[in-house]
Amino acid sequence: MSQTAYQAVVATFTRIYRYEHLGSLAGWDQAAMMPSKGNDARGAAMAELGVLIHNTLTDPALAELIKGAEAEDLSAAEQASLREIKRQWEHANLLPASLVEAKTLVGSHCSHEWRTQRQNNDWQGFLANFREVVRLSREEAQLLAKETGLSPYESLLNKYEPGMSCAELDRIFGDVKSWLPGLIRQAMEKQATEQVIAATGPFAVEKQRALGLDVMALLGFDFEGGRLDVSNHPFCGGVPEDVRITTRYREDDFMQSMMGIVHETGHARYEQSLPRETVALPVGRARSMGIHESQSLSFEMQLGRNPAFLALISPLVKKHLGDQPAFEAANLAKMYTRVHPDFIRVDADELTYPAHVILRYEIERALIDGEIEADDVPALWDEKMQAYLGVDTKGNFKNGCLQDIHWTDGAFGYFPSYTLGAMYAAQYFATIRKQQPDLDERIAAGDLAPIFNWLNANIWSQASQWETGELVRRATGEPLNPAHFRKHLEQRYLA
């Protein structure tokens, strides 16, 4: 039996999946295990693997095979698979190797120097490198735009959130901007008279870890197919068959590590639950960054900060960290919903977080589309921080526009995923609640199955079978609708 072109394409992408397995492991190990002197050799090995994968994807024979497969009589499932294969293939083939290489070099240089420049609040030093990053990112965006018919910024956005347009983002974020500042103000007024009992540390790392493992078990993490470790920047890595999540511990604060673990467990269950038959192919992988974040935020925001869930885990917290008034369910709920506009996105609460994202979206879009220059970023940053959150960042680059790593190596277009994820999650839970009106009672009783079953049926098992819009419509009966997000926030923060 001779192989069809489609089968040959599948064989190639299966091979790439196995290469990626090694790269993913190497990345996890680098962050969680590797001693410092291993870094150069690791970097060289990972770069060599990158070249290998790029060469495999840009092999002219593969282009022929894909063309051949498109002409074959494929089932609907195979057509969806080929659609996702083409997306990955085009991503590797649309850009000239020289541009990819230049952007990687300039980006990793800028990123490396940024670490100290941020510490030194050195905007001018950063700017010298950053201008080059912007220049090359614009070049990339324009080349992609020419091929895809999207706007330059949209072309970058589509690397992370395929199918998303600026018109759609403007509609959604515009809606959020119309009510978020008022909601933040009202919530702060309401919380002004609230008594919150602070937890008294220190909290030994081993005890926090044991608590984290118990919470992961409660959330259905499969420990035969994954691990929990420590890294500087928490992430979910590994491969679907072996998912590695990380956290970081501070002895004076248990809140971040615990909720960070809830967040990463959301990512992990998505990966662990992807259908195994197609796991080696793009159609069998996670849908997008926004959908991935919708899983971690379903766990962290919809479930994790829900008072019913905090009541459920309050005994676990007491068991591992000792009994103290701060760990009473009602107080945990207050601790985890405290609203406080501040400088840093990654430390932001649920309510102010979208403002940080929208600000970045507006700036990076203008930057890529050429409406502003790199030099204009700090003034615009300050203006928007004042407007959205009432925070003054003048001259404070370190905790202002220098705080994130994303732009330093040209990952423009990523930020919207965070808030899209939060909004998808709110929409899922509105749907789940319709089917399960007593959801909070279920959660408090420790029955999380309604949530896991719904996510599994509607998101996890669907992988990349559908375009994002179709996935959300099939799951919730409507396109992304910011009303659910607003209603969720109003109920949690004003009710």
Per CB under 8 A, residues contacting its own copies are: 15, 18-19, 21-23, 25-26, 29, 33-38, 40-42, 44-45, 48-49, 52, 222-227, 238-239, 241-242
From the list 129-137, 187-195, 216-224, 295-303, the region that binds Zn ion by CB under 5 A is: 295-303
20 is in an annotated binding site: no
How far is the C-alpha of 198 from the C-alpha of 426, rounded, in Å?
29
246 near Zn ion, judged by CB under 5 A: no
How far is the C-alpha of 288 from the C-alpha of 469, rounded, in Å?
11
Catalytic-role residue among 264, 300, 350, 362: 264
CB closest to Zn ion, residue no: 296
296 near Zn ion, judged by CB under 5 A: yes
Which amino acid, one-letter code, is at 338?
Answer: R
263 is in an annotated binding site: yes
Q: What are 243's strand-pairing partners?
A: 226, 238
What minimum distance in Å lies between the beta carbon of 425 and Zn ion? 11
- Report the candidate in 368, 385, 417, 406 with the shortest Cα–Cα distance to residue 162: 417
Among Zn ion, its own copies, none, what does residue 38 contact (CB within 5–8 Å per kind)?
its own copies
How far is the C-alpha of 137 from the C-alpha of 42, rounded, in Å?
26
Query: In Å, what is the CA distance from 415 to each residue of 124, 159, 195, 362?
Result: 24, 12, 34, 10
How far is the C-alpha of 240 from the C-alpha of 18, rounded, in Å?
12
CA angle at 430 for the pair 425 and 436, rounded to the nearest 5°: 120
Among its own copies, Zn ion, none, what does residue 224 contact (CB within 5–8 Å per kind)?
its own copies
Closest CB to Zn ion among 266 and 378?
A: 266
Please count the residues of this chain forming the interface with Zn ion, following the rule CB under 5 A. Answer: 1
CA angle at 480 for the pair 477 and 484, rounded to the nearest 5°: 85
465 near Zn ion, judged by CB under 5 A: no
Q: Is 48 an annotated catalytic residue?
A: no
Query: In Å, what is the CA distance from 348 to each residue of 7, 352, 471?
Result: 47, 6, 29
What minimum distance in Å lies between the beta carbon of 31 and Zn ion? 15
Strands 236-239 and 242-247: antiparallel
Closest CB to its own copies among 7 and 30?
A: 30
From the list 152-160, 237-245, 292-300, 334-342, the region that binds Zn ion by CB under 5 A is: 292-300
139 is in an annotated binding site: no
What minimum distance in Å lies between the beta carbon of 97 and its own copies? 17
Which amino acid, one-letter code, is at 278?
Answer: T
Among its own copies, Zn ion, none, what does residue 35 contact (CB within 5–8 Å per kind)?
its own copies
Binding site as annotated, residues for Zn(2+): 263, 267, 293
Q: Which residues carry out catalysis? A: 264
Interface contacts to Zn ion, rule CB under 5 A: 296
Binding site as annotated, residues: 263, 267, 293
